[in-house]
Structure 1
Amino acid sequence: MVNGRATARDAYLSLRRVSGELLVDRRWGTETSRVADLGGVDAPGRVRYEPSGYLDLRRVLRHRDVTPQDVFLDLGCGKGRIVLQAARYEFGRVIGVEVSPELCEVARANVRARRDHLRSDVELIVADAATFDIPDDVTVIYLYNPFRGAVFAAAVDQIVSSLNRAPRRVRVIYRTPLEEDVLLGTGRFRLTRSVPGLRPTRAWAQKMSTRIYVAEPA
């Protein structure tokens, strides 16, 4: 039974990747669908690139909940699929941070390919999320299980430091929230919503859920 489930899972992921390549990447002139490692970067605690779904951001963030005063940050942006989605909203700007120069260069090429269709300015930065200073105007942060353990804790510390410098409302959108306890343990964020992932089984859908957390100024 375990092998059967694994085979079904692999078949589903393969179909999802191929459909993404055929229906979106080829049409847009981008390359966001293929899983990739970090291009030789020695980065313990980091997770390889796997793309978010094309509907993931739209399912949890409505256009009317974004204003030009909002700034979007994708920590661990990989090839930039979510950056491209966020830049279709009315954000003041969109930032992607990626530890791998190789993946970041792919993301830059993808943004260039879609430039005429984006509403927001995009900045892509090669940096380590554990030491990256969160800009104090960021109001929406996206995470797709990009790193674990000490790296995640350090990234959360950077978020809290930014909140301390500039108290404001910040939303964290966290897909596959395996390190949720670290975020909630800061005492700054509360869980406001959980959306199951688009997966064939209920257990798998729950594991791949996207959760939204909010920090409010004191």
Structure 2
Amino acid sequence: MPTPSSQRSPWRYLRDADVLHAAVVTLFAVVLSGGIVWIGYVVHVWRTARRAPTTLPGRWVVLVFGRQLVADEPEHDYRGRLARALALLRGRIASRVLLLGGRSSGSRSEAEAGHAWLQGQGLPADVPIELEQESVDSLENLRHARGLLQGGDRAEVLPPVALLTSRYHLARCLLLARRLGFDGHAVAAEDALPRTPRYLALLLMEATYLMWIDLGVRWARLTGHRRMAARIS
């Protein structure tokens, strides 16, 4: 349950009492279950990653999640997300695109770098592209996207959205989006689930993040800890 910060590093969360509370609850759940709880989240993340489609029928508002830049340019995973977004644009699947991501390092935001990359690849000129440049993590991405789509009016109904990101990242984005009131649908950047040691490590890391967030919120609701539960709302 992250809080706003100018730094992307996950270690910044350890300064937050609610996040530490959720971590302790999660650790107890893993220990008491003999690791079975964590394995359940691993299976869920893997299934979501494996089954996600690369396109959707109809026309969609597409949210493209950024990733930390390398030398002010999109790195491999981010380029994959942008390439999928470009395919949706060219296929007339995307009616509106939001590029999500603030400045995590360097001189420009992830959204700005992504937009420049798309323009270099022949971005169609007739589809609205909006840049969300204030966020540094997935929860902030979605909060700011919600504000842009609602135009500052929380009473306005959110449109269904396509959540476009790397396969390993989809389960967490879907959970957060649904907690924030989105009707979110997964769209995978990669054609198929990669079978590499790096990708396995990313899936395991995502399962841990997802478990931490989900169990923390469930515990907060169970115990009536309103401030902690409100962190994802």
Please indicate the TM-score interval, normalised by the length of the shorter structure: 0.3 to 0.5
Whose RCO is larger (CA < 8 A, sep 6+)?
Answer: 2
Q: By percentage of residues, which structure has more helix? A: 2
Q: By percentage of residues, which structure has more strand? A: 1
Q: TM-score, normalised by structure 1?
A: 0.41
Q: TM-score, normalised by structure 2?
A: 0.39
